[in-house]
Amino acid sequence: GEPREGSRRVVLKRLGSAQELADIDTKICRRATGRGRCDLLQALPATEFASLNGDVRLLTPGAVEGWSDLVHCPSQRLLDRLVRRYAETKDSGSFLLRNLKDSERMQLLITLAFNPEPLVLQSFPSDEGWPFAKYLGACGRMVAVNYVGEELWSYFNAPWEKRVDLAWQLMEIAEQLTNNDFEFALYLLDVSFDNFAVGPRDGKVIIVDAENVLVADKRLIRQNKPENWDVWYESKFDDCDKEACLSFSKEILCARVTVDHNYYAVCQNLLSRHATWRGTSGGLLHDPPAEIAKEGRLEALLDECANPKKRYGRFQAAKELREYLAQLSNNVR
C-alpha cells in the first residue's frame, strides 16, 4: 500500500516449481562439492556464477551466451542494459559489473540462468511503454509484479467488439516487440491464452509470463552480417495435435533482421481457427457477426497470417490484419 495510491493488488511469482528449485540447489551443490546437499551460500563461490566476481568490468556475451532464452544470443548492448537496470542493487544505473557486490552479481547470474523473467521485466519496463507486467521487487526466489487483471482466457466468449479490440492489441504487441526504435527484437517463444492478461479499467492487454523471451539485437546482426542475415525469414506453420505449439529455430531468430515469428505466434495460437486452448477451437475471433463472416476478409487474413500460401504472405497479412482490426474496433467504439 502507498499512502497516495491506496493499496494495490500484486502477484507473487515463484521463479520455478518446488521441484525445479530443488533441482537447481542440487546442481549448485554437486558442482561445488560433489554432493547433492550443502550450504548454498558457501557453495556458490565455487560455481561458474562466481567466476565473474572480483574486478570483472563487464558482463560479456561469451560468459553467459545460451544460459537462457533471454541470452541465447546476447549482444554487449543487451547485457549492459540488463546490468544497468538490475533493480536488486543499490548502484543500479551503471553497466559495470564491478560496481555490484559479489552477492548481487551472483543473484543476477543465477536469475539469468534459471528464470530470466525478472530481468526481462526490469530491462524492458512497463513504465517505458513495453507491454509487460510492472516489476515491483523480489524476495529470495519470489518476485512481486503488479496484478494486471483477468487472463486473456476469461475473454474467450466476451462480446465480439471486445474480442476485436483485444485481437488488435495483440497484433500491435507483436509489431512493437518485432520493430521498435531500440532495435531489439523480443520474440515470444511461449504464446498461450494464459500468458496475457487484460486490465479491468483500461482494457489493456499485457504479457504476464515473460520467462521465454528471446532477445535479438538487430544492430549486431547488421554489423556481423551472418549468412542470409538480410533475407526475410518466414516461420513454418505448425499443425501439431497439442495446444499452443510453435515451431522456431532460435539460431535463425538470432541471425535475421526481418522475422515474422511474433505475428505467426499470435495468429496461430490466439486468433485464428487453428488456435486450440482448453478444449476450445476457433481462436479469440471465433463466431464473427454474419456480415463479417460473409465478407470473408477477416478469415482470409487470419488464415494467411497463421499459415501463409504466398511467399512473405504473413508479413503482408499481419499488416493488413492490424489495419482491418483497427477499422473494425473503431467502427464499434
Q: How confident is the model at residue 6 (pLDDT cuts 50, 70, 90)?
A: confident
Same domain? 121 vs 163 = no
Which residues, including other chains, have CB under 8 Å from residue 168's CB and lie 6 or more apart?
322, 325, 326, 328, 329
Give the relative orientation of helices 313-332 and 297-306 as an angle to the nearest 10 degrees: 140
- Considering the domain architecture, whether residues 196 and 132 belong to the same structural domain is answered as no
DSSP for 140-197?
TTEEEEE---EEGGGGTTS-HHHHHHHHHHHHHHHHHHHS-TT-EEEEES---GGGEE
User: Distance between alpha carbon 331 and the CA centroid of its chain, in Å?
Assistant: 31
Same domain as 209, residue 63: no
Alpha carbon distance 43, 39 (integer Å): 6
Q: Three cell numbers at 279? A: 478444449
Q: Which has more pLDDT, 30 or 218? A: 218
pLDDT band at 268 (very low <50, low <70, confident <90, very high): very high
Q: Are strands 150-151 and 142-146 parallel, antiparallel or unpaired?
A: unpaired
Q: What is the mean pLDDT of the chain?
A: 90
Any bridge partners for residue 233, and if so which? 259
Region 308-318: mean pLDDT is 95
Q: In the numeric block, which cell numbers belong to residue 168?
A: 488488435
| Whole-number pLDDT of residue 331 | 59
Helix (H, G, I), strand (E, B) or coil at 137: strand
What is residue 200's DSSP assignment? T
Is residue 162 situated within a structural domain?
yes
The string of pLDDT tens digits covering residues 117-131 is 999 999 999 999 999
Span 8-36, average pLDDT = 88
- Buried b / exposed e across 183-195, counting CB within 10 Å, b at 16+? bbbbbbbbbbbeb
Render pLDDT for 277-306 as a digit per residue (tens, 0 to 9). 888 888 999 999 999 999 999 999 999 999
Residue 232 lies in a domain: yes
| Rounded distance between C-alpha atoms, residue 285 and residue 269, angstroms | 12
Task: Say whether both 185 and 224 belong to one domain.
Answer: yes
What DSSP line would sit under 207-247, residue for residue?
Answer: E---SSEEEEEHHHHHHH--TTTTS-B-PPP---SSTT---
Q: At which of 104, 126, 146 does a domain end?
A: 146
- Give the predicted TM-score (pTM) of the model: 0.92
**pLDDT bucket at 1, cuts 50 / 70 / 90:** low
Q: Which domain holds residue 98?
A: 11-146
Whether 108 maps to a domain, the answer reads yes
Type of residue at 295: E
CB 70 within 8 A of CB 214: yes
Residue 2 resides in a domain: no
pLDDT grade, residue 333 (50/70/90)? very low
Contact 82, 59 (CB under 8 A): yes
Could you tell me if 37 and 115 lie in one domain?
yes
Residue bearing the bigger pLDDT, 44 or 174: 174
CATH of residue 225's domain is: 1.10.510
> Are 130 and 156 members of one domain?
no
Q: Cα Rg for the chain, rounded, in angstroms?
A: 21
Rounded to an integer, the average pLDDT of 311-328 is: 96
Query: Is the same domain home to 137 and 159?
Result: no
Asked if residue 314 and residue 168 are part of one domain, the reply reads yes
Lowest mean pLDDT among 54-63, 224-233, 235-244: 235-244
Confidence band (pLDDT; 50, 70, 90) for 24?
confident
**Contact of 47 with 28, CB cutoff 8 Å:** yes
| 71 DSSP 8-state letter | G
Domain-ending residue, one of 146, 169, 195 = 146
Last-in-domain residue among 100, 117, 146: 146
**How do residues 175-213 score in pLDDT, each as one tens digit?**
999 999 999 999 999 999 999 999 999 999 999 999 999
Cα Dmax for the chain: 69
Q: Which is more confidently placed, 241 or 35?
A: 35
Number of structural domains (the chain) is 2
